[in-house]
Amino acid sequence: MVVNNDDATRQIFSRCLLNCLHIPLWRCYIRFIKKVNERKGMEGQEETRKAFDFMLSYLGVDISSGPVWMEYIAFLKSLPALSSQEESHRMTAVRKVYQKAIITPTHHIEQLWRDYENFENSVSRQLAKGLVSEYQPKFNSARAVYRERKKYVDEIDCNMLAVPPTGSSKEELQWMSWRRLIAFEKGNPQRIDSASSNKRIIFTYEQCLMYLYHYPDVWYDYAMWHASNGSIDAAIKVFQRALKALPDSDMLKFAYAELEESRGSLQSAKKIYESLLSDGVNATALAHIQFIRFLRRNEGVEAARKHFLDARKSPNCTYHVYVAYAMMAFCLDKDPKIAHNVFEDGMKRFMNEPTYILKYADFLARLNDDRNIRALFERALSTLPLEESAEVWKRFIHFEQTYGDLASMLKVEKRRKEALSQTGEDGASTLESSLQDVVSRYSFMDLWPCTSSDLDNLTRQEWLAKNISKNSEKSSLPGGTGFLDTGSAGFMSHSIPSTKVVYPDTSQMVIYDPSQILGILPTATASGLPANPSNPVSVASGAPTSVFDEILKATPAALIAFLANLPAVDGPTPDVDIVLSVCLESDLPTVPLVKSGATPAQVSGGPVPTTSDLSGSSKSHAFSNSSLKHTRDKQSGKRKDYDRQEDNESTTVQSQPMPKDFFRIRQIQKARGATSSQTGSASYGSAISGDLSGSTG
């Protein structure tokens, strides 16, 4: 435009205008038309008017089109009128544009309404009163719709580029914003006629595709909207544009072929399938399967069979093609013999595919051919690699549990354990026999011979049994749903709930042993804790030794003693009762009340257990009756002492303020509850202050 190359400018506009429904681009187009036709007199004015009409027919419903309406009205008002008839025509044209503009929800709708009122009053006040009262409700409706639409439009980034989706949060937010705007327009909030509403919906879809050009779901939704409104030809055009935008999208090709087939255009649908198959070398197994089904529906059994025979020669033909054609022949053609032959033919190529074996077994089960099912399992297990045979063994055992006798069932279970024990699979239990074998045999669908708690305990026990001979520091719980499917053959193979259960990632879990952790602290010897220089602390946490020096200095003596007294855990989780018993039996240092002016260093002192104390208490696994004083004779005396302690404000726990540490509060409550429920009185002072003995009624 700068160098006045009008032909090149026209070519650029012809390429981009209809593809880019963007107000700034189209206003640039109007400026270009005005510039080209400014010296052509009446002919040029007519060309400019046609350009405005052309633009508003495409972008007139845009929420940002207000300036274009105002510019068009100003252009019409500027046209010369040499006669009263021309003046009347001009006023009529201006009035029509105003009346269209004031019922279009745009950013400038209120300004356009004020201009329209002034225009009508300038022409005729008497006529203006009737016209304004007629269009007032329409304007109010458009203004209300504008306020609602603006909420959706404000969420859209008009500077977003049309790129293939990457899964970023910004792209997902934009996709959701456009979907909300399209749903809003489909609801016809302004309650206008269906033609105008459809025009507005089409415009919204087209604008959406400017940004989500590489999103197949938007193309499909657009085409299906046309089809649901009876515009099959328009839907076909949308699919054709979609395949130009996304030529590698098999989803859109299948949907396009389905639409052509649904309207009876079988040749067009067949061409689409043939384009999927292309030269036959790069054709996918799924394309072959869907084309076989298409031929079976529309051209008969022989056409489908012919293509199956050709598809077998394709280098990309997988066992899926055999399974699909065999089940089609069995279910649709009611010909089990052909289906059986197809499965047998596939066995020559896919003997080492466990999934194919299982599909073949399902087919034989539907035929109630138990002899061939057993023969199939024996053939498959004799050729399958051991590491790939777990699923086949599981299905074999499930079959025997359902249809076999007890002897064959036990025999197959034993063979499975012996086979999988060579590969170290989870299914190979180290136990000679397991109660989970019984659970597997006598469960059905979601019916179990035990409670869920029993099932959890069995699973945990089996895992512990498998890892009993392993290094406890390197053993870890298996993650995922496979943890519950590790019992005897076929355990939970047919009764896993449909709801997906999310398990924590326990692949890095190690058994907790506080004696090892405290034993490697470099300054533990100074505090009376055992030191182990040969095992540096950086192995446990990767931190340098100086960091642990600072941590130990800042750690209260009571906390160090508490950690030192914790027992080693022999399973995934500690026993709460054991931990509490250790707390009750331990003599933790007494921390006196902080007086005004006292520094933390003056308060942090206290006795620390010796090495012998640590070694003795860290291995405790049961309650010791030595710390529980079951003497009813002293209860009354203790109660009196307790009352005196409250009055004299001594150093006991009862006279001290309630501790702010939630763990210590919980420790006191549990100690009181445990001792009161057992004996009615207990001595829990050693766990708190080392010298306090209280009575709980």
pLDDT (average), residues 342-348: 94
Q: What distance in Å separates the CA atoms of residue 39 and residue 353, rounded to the nearest whole number?
A: 79
Q: What is the pLDDT of residue 62?
A: 95
Q: What is the pLDDT of residue 7?
A: 94
Beta strand extents in 408-468 (DSSP E only): none
Domain boundaries, the chain: 351-424
DSSP lists the bridge partners of residue 447 as 444
Query: Which ranges in 470-537 belong to alpha helices (H)?
Result: 514-519
Q: What is the pLDDT of residue 512?
A: 60
- 101 alpha carbon, distance to own chain's centre: 45
Q: Which positions ≥6 away from 566 have C-beta within 8 Å? A: 514, 574, 579, 582, 618
DSSP 3-state assignment of 102? coil
Instruction: State pLDDT tens for residues 633-678.
Output: 444 444 444 444 444 444 444 444 555 555 666 666 666 655 444 4
* In contact, 360 and 344? CB cutoff 8 Å: no
Among 91, 13, 95, residue whose Cα is nearest residue 54: 13
- Percent of the chain exceeding pLDDT 70 equals 70
Q: What distance in Å separates the CA atoms of residue 95 and residue 102, rounded to the nearest whole number?
A: 11
Q: What is the pLDDT of residue 195?
A: 93
* In contact, 326 and 362? CB cutoff 8 Å: no
Q: What distance in Å separates the CA atoms of residue 78 and residue 87, rounded to the nearest whole number?
A: 11
Encoded tokens for 559: 């906390």
Residues of 143-161 as b/e, b for ≥16 C-beta within 10 angstroms? bebbeebeebbeebeeeee
Among 375, 644, 619, residue whose Cα is nearest residue 513: 619
> Which among 318-332, 431-445, 451-465, 566-580 has the top mean pLDDT?
318-332
Encoded tokens for 164: 């293939």
Check whether 324 has a pLDDT greater than 80: yes
Confidence tier at 81 by pLDDT (50, 70, 90): confident
Q: What is the pLDDT of residue 672?
A: 63
Polymer length in residues for the chain: 697
* In contact, 110 and 117? CB cutoff 8 Å: no
> Which among 313-317, 431-435, 600-604 has the top mean pLDDT?
313-317
Q: Is the dihedral of CA 397, 399, 401, 403 positive or negative?
A: negative
Confidence tier at 536 by pLDDT (50, 70, 90): very low
Instruction: State pLDDT tens for residues 205-248.
Output: 999 999 999 999 999 999 999 999 999 999 999 999 999 999 99
